[in-house]
C-alpha cells in the first residue's frame, strides 16, 4: 500500500507539511552537532527495527530526506503494511553524513509512531478475522498527524471512520438537543451537505426508531445491552448500518460478531499506540 492507494484527501500535502514542521522544530537555525562532521563527508547508514511490527512510514522518510538533501539516497527493504521481525533492516541511507544525522530523528519519529499505529491496528484486525465486522478508527489522533495515522490504520488492516468534521455527520446527544430532535438534526444534515453520510448516536430503541424514520445511514448504539442490540439489528436491517463504539477485546468481538454488527469504532487504534523501537547506525565504508 502507498499513500496514492489510500482514499484519504490531501494526504501527500499533509506529508509535506508535517515533515516541514518537524524539521523546523528540530533543526531551528541549524544543527550545531552536525557541524562537527566535515561538510563533504559521505556515509552509509542502516535503520533496523528492534521488535516485531507492521511497518508504516515510507513516504514520510522519503520526504524528510528530500527536503533536507535531494541527493541523498534512501534504499528500501520493506513496504508499508509489511510485517517485519526484530532486527530486520527497514532501509539504508547513502549520501552526505551531515544530512543523514540531521534527518535521523525526524525520520525515525515518523516511522516509530506510524508503525506503532499500524501494529496496534493489526492486532485489532486480527480479532475481527472470520467475521463481517469492520473495525473503524476515530478522530482521537495525534494533533497534526490525523491523515498520517488514518493511513497507518489502513496499513494495519482496519478501516477509517470519517476523516474530520467536514466529510460526514456524526450527530450525538448534544447535537440532538441543540437542533431540536433527531428528526430535525438529520433533516438539516441532508440539506447542509446532500450525499454525505449521516450517522446518529442513540441511547434507546425509541431513539433508534426515530433515527431510522429520519433516514440516518448509520446508527451508533450507546450502552445497549446485547438484547437491545439484537432488537436494534432487526429494526435496522435493510435500512441502516449499526455501529458499536467502545472497548474491543476478543470475547466482546465474538459476541458482537454473533449479533452481526456492521462496525466497531475504537479510539484505541490511534491513541493507545506504543512507538516501535528503531535504531540507525552508520556503516563502515
CB 89 within 8 A of CB 283: no
pLDDT digits (tens, 9 = 90+) for 227-250: 999 999 999 999 999 999 877 777
- 131-271 has the same fold as 3-125+273-283: no
Q: Which of 197, 131, 124 is nearest to 155 (CA)?
A: 124
Q: Name the residues annotated as catalytic.
A: 105, 140, 172, 201, 222
Tell me the three state secondary structure of residue 116: helix
pLDDT band at residue 264 under the 50/70/90 scheme: very high
Region 162-167: mean pLDDT is: 95
Give the least confident one: 7-16, 87-96, 197-206.
Answer: 7-16
Quick check: helix, strand or coil at residue 155? helix
- The stretch 39-49 carries a mean pLDDT of 97
Which distant-in-sequence residues (6+ apart) come within 8 Å of 232 by Cβ? 205, 208, 219, 221, 224, 242
* Mean pLDDT value of segment 269-279: 95
**CATH among 3.20.20.70, 3.40.50.2000, 1.10.10.10, 3.40.228.10 for 131-271:** 3.20.20.70
* DSSP annotation of 160: -
pLDDT in tens, 169-194: 999 999 999 999 999 999 999 999 99
Model confidence at 6, pLDDT cuts 50, 70, 90, reads: low
Which architecture characterizes domain 3-125+273-283 according to CATH?
A: Alpha-Beta Complex (3.90)
DSSP state letter for 217: S
What pLDDT was estimated at residue 179?
97
Q: Where are the domains of the chain?
A: 3-125+273-283, 131-271
Model confidence pLDDT, tens digit, residues 107-143? 999 999 999 999 999 999 998 888 899 999 999 999 9
pLDDT higher than 80, residue 3: no
Amino acid at each position: 500500500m502507498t499513500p496514492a492507494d489510500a482514499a484519504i484527501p490531501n494526504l501527500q500535502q499533509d506529508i509535506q507539511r508535517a515533515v516541514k514542521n518537524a524539521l523546523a522544530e528540530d533543526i531551528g537555525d541549524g544543527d550545531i552537532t552536525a557541524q562537527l562532521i566535515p561538510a563533504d563527508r559521505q556515509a552509509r547508514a542502516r535503520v533496523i527495527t528492534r521488535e516485531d511490527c507492521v511497518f508504516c512510514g515510507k513516504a514520510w522518510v522519503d520526504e524528510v530526506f528530500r527536503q533536507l538533501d535531494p541527493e541523498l539516497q534512501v534504499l528500501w527493504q520493506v513496504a508499508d503494511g509489511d510485517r517485519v521481525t526484530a532486527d530486520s533492516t527497514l532501509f539504508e541511507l547513502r549520501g552526505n553524513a551531515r544530512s543523514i544525522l540531521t534527518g535521523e530523528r525526524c525520520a525515525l519519529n515518523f516511522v516509530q509512531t506510524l508503525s506503532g499505529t499500524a501494529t496496534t491496528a493489526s492486532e485489532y484486525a486480527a480479532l475481527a478475522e472470520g467475521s463481517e465486522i469492520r473495525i473503524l478508527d476515530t478522530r482521537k489522533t495525534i494533533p497534526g498527524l490525523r491523515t498520517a495515522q488514518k493511513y497507518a490504520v489502513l496499513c494495519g488492516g482496519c478501516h477509517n471512520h470519517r476523516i474530520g468534521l467536514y466529510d460526514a455527520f456524526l450527530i450525538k446527544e448534544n447535537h440532538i438537543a441543540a437542533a431540536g430532535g433527531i428528526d430535525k438534526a438529520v433533516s438539516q444534515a441532508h440539506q447542509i451537505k446532500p450525499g454525505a453520510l449521516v450517522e446518529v448516536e442513540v441511547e434507546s430503541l425509541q431513539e433508534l426508531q426515530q433515527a431510522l424514520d429520519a433516514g440516518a445511514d448509520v446508527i451508533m448504539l450507546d450502552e445497549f445491552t446485547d438484547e437491545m442490540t439484537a432488537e436494534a439489528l432487526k429494526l435496522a436491517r435493510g435500512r441502516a448500518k449499526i455501529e458499536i463504539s467502545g472497548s474491543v477485546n476478543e470475547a466482546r468481538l465474538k459476541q458482537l460478531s454473533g449479533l452481526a454488527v456492521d462496525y466497531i469504532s475504537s479510539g484505541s487504534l490511534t491513541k493507545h499506540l506504543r512507538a516501535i523501537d528503531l535504531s540507525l547506525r552508520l556503516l563502515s565504508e
